Amino acid sequence: MMIKNFNSLANTEVKKTALRILEAGLTAAQPKNFLKTFVNKNYILLGKNRIFLSNYGKIFVVAYGKAADSMAEYVSKKINVSQGIVVVPKCTKLSLDSKKFNVFYSGHPLPDKESVRAGKAVQKFVNNCSKGDFILFLVSGGGSSLLALPDKITLTEKKHVTKLLLQCGATIDEFNCVRKHLSMIKGGKLVQNMNCDGCALVMSDVVSNDLSVISSGCTYNDNTTFSDAMSVITKYSLGKKLPKKVITLLKRGLNTKAIRPNRLTIKNKIIAANQDCLNAMVLKSRSLGLTTKVYSPVKHDVSVSAKKIVQMIPGKKNSCIIFGGEPTVQVKGKGKGGRNQELVLQILKLIQNSDRHVVASSISTDGIDGNTTCSGAIIENNSSSLQEISSYLENNDSYSFFKRHGGLIKTGPTHTNLMDIGLIIKY
């Protein structure tokens, strides 16, 4: 079981059903389920094209993101990897068992000194590969923080920018647009001086499935500009809150043409997305006798997303709504929680005074929700007052609510990342 406290949470049949469906989604998110289609002993499959590994002298692997170790582990068992680098969040219990990889444990969601050390090491590694070699990049969500090489600003300034963007409610597309223009490796810059061939297999953790956004597109052409980055700063009124050096850098770059990688050298392929989790959940829910609908993608503020999801709750019993994506949260309070816990609490607030008998849940597929060690929450209608629920929401303290009333879901780090999954069962 990936849900470690499954048995204690499954204290009713409907909760047990809900958790079984969530478990199916988490299981489907494991990298090996997707890599087996693309990585063969002798070749890498990209669409209709096969990259035959025998054409190259040495095969190198550069893996970064929350799924980096599990992706590298699978690949290293399939093909003869000469050497590689793996960059994962700190405190990760490594699933990879190979002396061929140099492992970095970096900061997330805020970059740290190890993120910078990893960024320098990866850049040097990529630039030093010979013409007849091949680099397989294994990319997953979280790489934007795990790999950091600030351009003309300090790490402290970069962290400040990151913190403000995390709190203001910016989408991941907007977030990474800014980050790309403050970095020496993001937005395709990592591969601009690469001498050998290569390709990137990518697990998407963004709603748009935009390759230039996932982990800030280190191996992909940047399709945003300095003007786009400044627009994000203006939209969220961050101009006066950001360090002066950051604003100066962005304004200076307004007329600068973005550096782009060689598309003929670096091919990028999305191998997994949130929809793969939802498909598995649909199959599981229907096998359990539920009438099921899907709402995707969830991409608005948690309060707006909750309203849209609740509106889809059917009148008939034994019905299920499955949803996935990544809502945003504007942090105004000082409490603990994450977007999944807050989304569930927002849903509870909307249904509390109704006669609807439902169970609602939402979890992150990476196992970490916000500033907590939980992946999300599950709840049935309970006796909490609207006033109590609202007070927890106003302080962004959904974690404390569920800690008091029960319902926190614990998986620990899952070594994958395909955004969030959730459901509502009407019973």
Lowest mean pLDDT segment, chosen from 104-118, 208-222, 301-315, 349-363: 349-363
Tell me, what's the pLDDT at 257?
Answer: 64
Tell me, what's the pLDDT at 182?
Answer: 95
Mean pLDDT of 388-402: 97
d(CA 82, CA 57): 10
Tell me, what's the pLDDT at 98?
Answer: 81
Instruction: Render pLDDT for 181-239 as a digit per residue (tens, 0 to 9).
Output: 999 999 999 999 899 999 999 999 999 999 999 999 999 988 899 999 999 999 999 99
pLDDT confidence bin for 145, thresholds 50/70/90? very high
Tell me, what's the pLDDT at 381?
Answer: 77
What's the distance, Cα to Cα, between the start and end of the chain in Å?
Answer: 25
Lowest mean pLDDT segment, chosen from 3-17, 137-151, 249-263: 249-263
pLDDT confidence bin for 384, thresholds 50/70/90? confident
Mean pLDDT of 287-296: 97
What domains sit in the chain, N to C, each tagged with a CATH number? 6-28+274-426 (3.40.1480.10), 32-149+184-222+258-272 (3.40.50.10180)
pLDDT confidence bin for 42, thresholds 50/70/90? very high
Tell me, what's the pLDDT at 258?
Answer: 56
Tell me, what's the pLDDT at 352?
Answer: 85
DSSP 163: H
Tell me, what's the pLDDT at 254?
Answer: 85
Tell me, what's the pLDDT at 399?
Answer: 98
Highest mean pLDDT among 350-359, 381-390, 415-424: 415-424
d(CA 55, CA 131): 12
Residue with tokens 């230039």: 212
Inform me whether the pLDDT recorded for 264 exceeds 60: no
Q: In the chain, pLDDT over 90 holds for what percent of residues?
A: 89
Q: In the chain, pLDDT over 70 holds for what percent of residues?
A: 97
Strands (DSSP E) found in 6-92: 43-46, 49-52, 59-64, 83-89
Tell me, what's the pLDDT at 315?
Answer: 85
The neighbouring-strand residues paired with 291 are: 319
Angle at the Cα of 13 from the Cα atoms of 295 and 286, rounded to 5 degrees? 40
Tell me, what's the pLDDT at 261?
Answer: 55
Q: Which amino acid is at 372?
A: T
Tell me, what's the pLDDT at 47?
Answer: 87
Alpha-carbon torsion (307, 308, 312, 318), positive or negative: negative
Mean pLDDT of 374-393: 91
Strands (DSSP E) found in 124-227: 134-139, 197-203
Residue with tokens 């007052």: 385
